Structure 1
Amino acid sequence: MSRRCRAGRLTAMKLLALGAAVAALALLPGTASADELPTFGFTDCPAPPANADPGTWRCEAFVSQGKLTIGGQAIPLGELRLTFSEGKVNGQYAQVFGALRHEPVRVPGLAGTTLQLRYGGYSDFQGNDERRGELDIYAELRHPLLRKGCSVGTAAAPLHSVVHDDPAVPPTVISRNPPTFHFGVVDPALALPATQGCGPLGEFVDRKLGLPSPAEFHQTTYVQYKQL
């Protein structure tokens, strides 16, 4: 075999190896591919205020996977969907909450019990150097033996969550058109009170969940923007 042929084969092998290395990098934590994207929904997008500055408003649709950890017990929260709109009014930043949607999930250690997160009436998604955002929520607990209205936090006295960027899931640009991103957030100090309105079994539920207690809330999120 000539030197030219051998050199050509070596070059081809190096290119194949480089391609394999690039493909492997795409699978490392902190990256995400378009193949993994969920379906985004914008039907809950709130309209801009009547006095909104034209051309400045967009809707953000979040699709997340969450986990709540109380002591050493993890409660997978499954999928959470959240929407809000943001823009400017008279040159100043403004935002309008849309909706938080969460299907009930089973609570480990409490057979037949489900947990469903609800919006608590306050949100602020304007991030800064100290945190990514804030959201008030409460958790409804359901079981045939628990009273209707059993919850951790209430609509009148919700849990206040302040989330920060999660270094384990750094922000990743998925697409520029439409703008789509992937990132993680964590609230390391979510204070959970004892249950309320659960009836005679409330204390039993508190013991099983270890309430009241500090907790950690983790969330990995895909978000897509739509101009309004």
Structure 2
Amino acid sequence: MDRKRNRRWARTAACAGLALGALGLSAAPALADGRAAARAAPASAAAPLPTFDFTDCPTLPAGADPDKWRCEVHVATGDMKLGGLTVPLRPMTITHAEGPLPDGSTGQVFGAMHATPSPATGGLPNIPGLPERAPMLGVNVKTKYGGWFDFLSHGTSAGGLDVTFALSGPLLPENCSIGTAEQPIRLTMMRKGPNEWISKDPPILKGTLWDNTVAIPAATDCGPLGAVLNHRNNLPSPGGANSVTLDGLYTFKTYTQLGR
């Protein structure tokens, strides 16, 4: 990379604080002085780089500078404990944009969330009415965006996100879910250790976020078996009895680089 491109990369990286990684991994101080890239492990640098899809980058607010705004793409796996449901998360992708607004404040615009339904351990009895220790019929859990996010980082806090968990299975109706559009679940994510640079060009970071304080409500709109589902999986479940862990990769491009 030549000097002009290096200067451009450093200016781009410093223009706004990195948000959630996986759901945005903050690395603003490291990007600002450019030293974190030099600490990337040789083994990580030698590994094949992942590809990221910028299709869901949202439209910028009026007056936003495309050279100072960037689109951020976060890809995460991980695991969740929602009451008695244990969910190993299949890949999910979150896209958003952030940058300075004309009044000097930092703006954020949500793009999209895409998540693959993940099979959970726990669920429903194979036959309704079987005793308490009857074998369980698993359900799938799909994470959906709940209408609010704040991916600006503050210290070890990596921001927050409202979600709902859609539940599906052969005995469940279509709208069965934990959390609803009217009352979503708010995740408050913290960083679990420092982030790791995978690549400087393109910029890719790796890190882990988690929330072990979230309270999980009872499942709703689950038909005749809703009460059984909640009873067998200890729902609702208070804060401290649940957890969400996201292991993610994160990258970004300015809107100028995207040609917008």
Give the alignment's TM-score, normalised by structure 1.
0.81
Report deviation, 1:50. Answer: 2.0
Where does residue 222 of structure 1 map in the other structure? 249
Where does residue 127 of structure 2 map in the other structure? none
Partners in 1 of 2:83 and 2:220 — Cα distance? Answer: 20
- Which runs of structure 2 are paired with 1:10-25 in the superposition (5 Å)? none
Cα shift readout 1:63-122 (whole Å, capped 9, x = no counterpart): 101210245763101111000001111122101001111011112133252111100000
Where does residue 21 of structure 2 map in the other structure? none
Where does residue 94 of structure 1 map in the other structure? 107
Report the 3-state secondary structure (helix = DSSP H, G, I; strand = E; otherwise coil) of the residue aligned with 1:108.
strand
Where does residue 60 of structure 2 map in the other structure? 48
Partners in 2 of 1:219 and 1:96 — Cα distance? Answer: 21
Conservation of the 8 A alpha-carbon contact between 1:38 and 1:63: no
Whichever residue aligns with residue 100 of structure 1, its letter is M
> Is it true that 1:121 corresponds to 2:147 in the alignment?
yes
Q: Which has the higher contact order (CA 8 A, sep 6+)?
A: 2
- Are residues 135 and 206 of structure 1, via their aligned partners in 2, closer, same or farther at CA, if it must alter by over 3 Å? same
Partners in 2 of 1:203 and 1:224 — Cα distance? Answer: 42
Whichever residue aligns with residue 115 of structure 1, its letter is V
- Which runs of structure 2 are paired with 1:105-144 in the superposition (5 Å)? 105-110=118-123, 111-129=137-155, 131-144=157-170
Report deviation, 1:130. Answer: 5.0
Report the 3-state secondary structure (helix = DSSP H, G, I; strand = E; otherwise coil) of the residue aligned with 2:213.
strand
Report the 3-state secondary structure (helix = DSSP H, G, I; strand = E; otherwise coil) of the residue aligned with 2:63.
coil
> Is it true that 1:79 corresponds to 2:102 in the alignment?
no
Report the 3-state secondary structure (helix = DSSP H, G, I; strand = E; otherwise coil) of the residue aligned with 2:214.
strand
Report deviation, 1:208. Answer: 2.6
* Seq. identity, %: 37
- Are residues 64 and 33 of structure 1, via their aligned partners in 2, closer, same or farther at CA, if it must alter by over 3 Å? farther
User: 2:186 pairs with 160, 164, 170, which one?
Assistant: 160
Where does residue 192 of structure 1 map in the other structure? 216
Whichever residue aligns with residue 181 of structure 2, its letter is A
Whichever residue aligns with residue 96 of structure 1, its letter is V
Partners in 1 of 2:190 and 2:44 — Cα distance? Answer: 20
Report deviation, 1:152. Answer: 0.2
Please list every run of 5 or more consecutive structure 2 residues that lacks an aligned counterpart in the other structure. Answer: 1-39, 124-136, 256-260
Larger Rg: 1
Report the 3-state secondary structure (helix = DSSP H, G, I; strand = E; otherwise coil) of the residue aligned with 1:107.
strand
Partners in 1 of 2:228 and 2:45 — Cα distance? Answer: 44
Whichever residue aligns with residue 187 of structure 1, its letter is D
Report the 3-state secondary structure (helix = DSSP H, G, I; strand = E; otherwise coil) of the residue aligned with 2:109.
strand
- Are residues 210 and 137 of structure 1, via their aligned partners in 2, closer, same or farther at CA, if it must alter by over 3 Å? same
Conservation of the 8 A alpha-carbon contact between 1:37 and 1:222: no
The aligned length equals: 199
Report the 3-state secondary structure (helix = DSSP H, G, I; strand = E; otherwise coil) of the residue aligned with 1:190.
coil
Partners in 2 of 1:141 and 1:127 — Cα distance? Answer: 31
Please list every run of 5 or more consecutive structure 1 residues that lacks an aligned counterpart in the other structure. Answer: 1-24
Partners in 2 of 1:185 and 1:131 — Cα distance? Answer: 9
Whichever residue aligns with residue 221 of structure 2, its letter is G
Where does residue 10 of structure 1 map in the other structure? none
* RMSD of aligned alpha carbons: 2.0
Normalized per residue, the structure richer in strand is 1
User: 1:66 pairs with 43, 68, 78, which one?
Assistant: 78
